[in-house]
Amino acid sequence: MEFTFGKAYKLCSVKRIDRLFSEGKRLKAYPITVMFQETEEEMEHAFQVIFSVPKKRMRHAHDRNYVKRCFREILRINKSVLENHLIKCNKKINFAFIYQLNERIPYQELEQKLLDAITKLISEIKDEK
């Protein structure tokens, strides 16, 4: 099991990001909103992700950076569940995690919320079959 989270997992293409936010489906797992879209494009891994913490919600950059850093770490550790499911279903997706709270929450609580969001995403992908 590989615990790296390199550039190949990060959604960087402006075209893909625009398409994700204009055509993608929205899934709410308070305080995280997940935007996701199945794709047929060639990718190195089963998914690519982008993390967003709006400046409108969190004024201080150090708070926004903390939340994004925690998101990356949590997904790095728990990506195998999502990746194995996507490989088994033979699907590739692009998705975004958007943080919706106005304040920072502790790492353990944020981890639980993100794992709930990933579980909802997996169940939503199962329902699409």
pLDDT recorded at residue 129? 57
Tell me the C-alpha distance between 56 and 102, whole Å: 9
Domain boundaries, the chain: 7-127
DSSP labels, 19-47: HHHHH-EEEEETTEEEEEEE--S--SSSE
CATH of domain 7-127: 3.30.230.10
Q: Is 128 exposed, middle or buried (0-12, 13-18, 19+ CB in 10 A)?
A: exposed
What distance in Å separates the CA atoms of residue 103 and residue 44, rounded to the nearest whole number?
A: 35
Q: Is the pTM of this model over 0.85?
A: yes
**pLDDT tens by residue, 48-98:** 999 999 999 999 999 999 999 999 999 999 999 999 999 999 999 999 999
| pLDDT single digits (tens) 4-46 | 899 999 999 999 999 999 999 999 999 999 999 999 999 999 9
